[in-house]
Amino acid sequence: MNDNRNSINAENTEKQNGSLRFFSALLKNWLFILLFTLLFTLLGAGYAVLVRDTVYTAENEVIFAINIVEYDDEGVGYVSATNNLNYAGRYISTVQQHISTPKYVNEANNIYSHAGNEGAIDGKAIKMNYGDDTLIFSISYSDVSPDAAEKKLEAVIESAKLILPEYVPATEVKLMPVQNRADITEDNGIFKFTLLGFAAGLVLSVGLVFLRYSLDNTVKSKEDFELITDTHLLACINNDTCSNKKSK
């Protein structure tokens, strides 16, 4: 029983000593970690500034409206605003499901090319956001050219106007942009790639220190010596690693 306890205590002590030695190795190599992390941070920022193209996103809000004709007991048709609101809210997710599918994208490309524009619309560049309690949603398109982003967004909205009625069984389906011109935002990715560079540099530098520490099989303390030789150290002479000295 005592032997087992001593063995467990010895293992715990060894783990604690190993953690302390690794932490000490990190402190000794702080300059390497700092410079390595700084290098990767600068590389990330440099990539964003010098290599990566600036991405422009055109975004516009769109009102989704439908008209459903209902009939009273006498067969007279009328439009129910309340039911239309609930009905449109139910089908607004249909827009998101189909807006970037090949059928919509192909129709948008036809509209875009017939207007005399060059290039093609990428379905992955189309984004849509909407809330549960509103019939106003936003559609955005990202491109390396602000003019192309705006024109492609207009083509996407126009294609949705043409195709969406096929999926929503209503008398009339409308998609009405809130603004005549879309809002344009610019993203050069400096913050994102600088942060990625910092994280990569920090992880790699600490990993290199850990790898070097793991491969180092030199005796660093009296505990290491006692573990390797299976003997008890009685004394140390001018050795900083021997902190708990024993006298004869």
| Mean pLDDT of all residues in 88-112 | 82
pLDDT band at 145 (very low <50, low <70, confident <90, very high): very high
Domains of the chain: 54-187 (3.30.70.1130)
Query: Quick one: three-class SS letters along the chain?
Result: CHHHHHHHHHHHHHHHHHHHHHHHHHHHCHHHHHHHHHHHHHHHHHHHHHHCCCEEEEEEEEEEEEECEEECCCCCEEECHHHHHHHHHHHHHHHHHHCCCHHHHHHHHHHHHHCCCCCCCCHHHEEEEECCCCCEEEEEEEECCHHHHHHHHHHHHHHHHHHHHHCCCCCEEEEEECCCCCEEEEECCHHHHHHHHHHHHHHHHHHHHHHHHHHCCCCCCHHHHHHHHCCCCCCCCCCCCCCCCCCC
Residue range 192-204, pLDDT digits in tens: 999 999 999 999 9
Q: What is the pTM of this model?
A: 0.64
